Amino acid sequence: MNDAPPKRRTWSWWHLLFVVQFVAVLWPPFYNSAEPRWIGIPFFYWYQMLWVVISAVITAAIYLATDD
């Protein structure tokens, strides 16, 4: 809230980790199949649900690595 020089930069190489989740979920050929199933759920569904969890973990990791 003052004009002092910022203590940290706003860009970090850690942010590139975000690209991983974009590629993983925005390219349907990766996951548009029924097999392998998990407890009867087709791959298409559990893969994307799993990525919700992974993306949260990635975001948390980036937060911890970049936010002081």
Partner 1 sequence: MQDVNWIALSIFVLLFGLISWLGFAAAHWRKGDLDLLHEWGLGGRRFGTLITWFLVGGDVYTAYTFIAVPALAFGAGAVAFFAVPYTIVIYPFLFLVFPRLWNVCRKHGYITAGDFVRGRFGNRWLALAIAITGIVATMPYIALQLVGIQVVVGALGISGSGLAADLPLIIAFLVLAAFTYSSGLRAPASIAIVKDILIYITAFTAIIVIPIELGGFGKIFAAVPPQKLLLAVPGPNTTGAYGSYATLALGSALALFLYPHSLTGILSASSGHAIRRNAAMLPGYSFMLGLLALFGFFAIAAGVANLPEYAAGFKQFGNNFAVPALLLHSFPSWFVGIAFAAIGIGALVPAAIMSIAAANLYTRNIHREFINKSPSDRQESQVAKWVSLIVKFGALVFIVFVPTQYAIQLQLLGGIWIIQTLPSVMLGVYTRWFNDWALLLGWAIGIFAGTAMAVAVNLKAAYPLAFGGYTFPGYIAVYTVILNLVVAILLTPAFNALVARRVPADQTAAADYRA
Helix axes 18-26, 43-66, angle to 10 degrees: 170
Q: What angle do CA 51, 54, 55 make, to 5 degrees?
A: 85
* Interface map 16-55 toward partner 1 (x if CB under 8 A): --x--xx--xxxxx--xxx--x-xxxx-xx--xx-xxx-x
Amino acid type, 33: S
Which residue's CB is nearer to partner 1, number 36 or number 40? 40
Structure tokens at 8: 């940290």
* Binding residues vs partner 1 (CB under 8 A): 1, 3, 5-6, 10, 15, 18, 21-22, 25-29, 32-34, 37, 39-42, 44-45, 48-49, 51-53, 55-56, 59-60, 62-63, 67
